[in-house]
Amino acid sequence: MRHGLVAAACLAALALAAPGLVTMSAQSKPRARDLGVPFDGTPGPLNAITDVAGVEVGVTTLISGDGPLKVGVGPVRTGVTAILPRGRASKDQVFAGWFSLNGNGEMTGTTWIDEAGLLDSPVLITNTHSVGIVRDAAIAWAVNRRYLEAGWGLPVVAETFDGSLNDINGFHVKAEHVFSALDGAKGGPVAEGNVGGGTGMIAYGFKAGTGTASRRVPDAPWTVGVLVQANHGGPRLLRIAGVPVGAELANERDASRSKSIIIVVATDAPLLPHQLKRVAKRATHGLARTGAISSDSSGDIFIAFSTANPGVASTKPVARVDMLSNAHISAIFQSTVEATEEAIVDSLVAAETMKGVRGTVCEAIPHERVVEILRKYGRAEPV
């Protein structure tokens, strides 16, 4: 297996990285299916949120410094992730809904989503102390590129805490990093692991970060895609394909603290805002499949949007929309659960060992041991 090579590559990148943006090729890292992890459902061709037509994703990854913590200097292990529901070329709003499973976190702009049922901005994810700058930069980007259809906006910006590895009080995320993520957003493969807002994140005691997956909805022409920023869960809780991997590994390394997860669900199924809120709630089940309990200090906040019903926010007196019957919505729920579970595991498998502030080292999950444990429980598929 490739765990040793992945860890070595990460450490080499840290040694060579100059301050500022680090570019990484999309989905060039191992994924959970490469290890033989069995998952339910049928993924889209990329097994990514961008399998939902029109969705674009961009990341800015900031990695610099390798010495002791000096606030304002580093080490820097952070970034920004941007998800554009209809891509940069469209100002058209989308129906959306959101859900807070545990609210020790932040997602801006959600009161207007509750009120109007519409998402009129990209969804951005960063670290806890950079929400303000990312929000302001998102407005500036929209104004400068005439992206605001209504002339004003309430951007959706969410966060998880990366201060175990990143100089979070150094405020290293700047407006230009937000612009870079938005301007660089595209369809196609999506980078995972130590990238974008997920750069300095930890889940279940292992290095984690950004993960994505998708599902073709059973017996229907639609797709559900999920992107997560995973920074949650105690070390012993981790379950992969139902196997208690965290308990098996608990005595094999030091545990690192982690908390919070942001989950973004996209679909092209014709869903109205109240239905999308129901979809956002179902991400909870995918999270639970990986062992999470949503502790008191965890910010577990989810948003779902639909790219169906274009032009719904037009100024015409009457908007006519399509709505999937509730009698058929359970297949969307199932796809959401399955894609969420896989996206979280992918965030772990793709992540690489990282050294951060105060010399803290967060190890990548050991691929070889994961495979051994899956085989022990009869859950590994041939690769």
CA distance from start to end of the chain: 11
- For this structure, is 294 an active site residue? no
322 is known as an active-site residue:
no
Paired tokens of 62: 């900031």
Please identify which of the residues 258, 298, 335, 347 carries the catalytic annotation. Answer: 298
Catalytic residue among 92, 300, 335, 347: 300
Report the distance separating Cα 139 and Cα 136, nearest Å: 5
Let me know if 335 is a catalytic residue.
Answer: no
Across the beta sheet with 118-119, what order do the strands follow? 118-119, 94-103, 299-306, 261-267, 223-230, 210-216
**Residues contacting 110, CB < 8 A, separation 6+:** 98, 156, 303
* 241: DSSP letter: T
Nearest alpha-carbon partner for 85 in 335, 301, 313: 313
* Distance from chain centroid for Cα 378: 29
The active-site residue out of 164, 214, 256, 260 is 260
CB 114 within 8 A of CB 168: no
Tokens of 239: 């379950």
**Parallel, antiparallel, or unpaired for β 354-355 and 361-362?**
antiparallel
Q: Report angle CA 111, 114, 116 to the nearest 5 degrees.
A: 105
| % helix, strand, coil for the chain, step of 5 | 30, 25, 45
Q: Are 204 and 240 in contact (CB under 8 A)?
A: no
**What is the rounded radius of gyration, in angstroms, for the C-alpha atoms of the chain?**
19
Please give the Cα distance from 202 to 199 (Å, whole number). Answer: 9
List, by residue number, the catalytic residues: 260, 298, 300
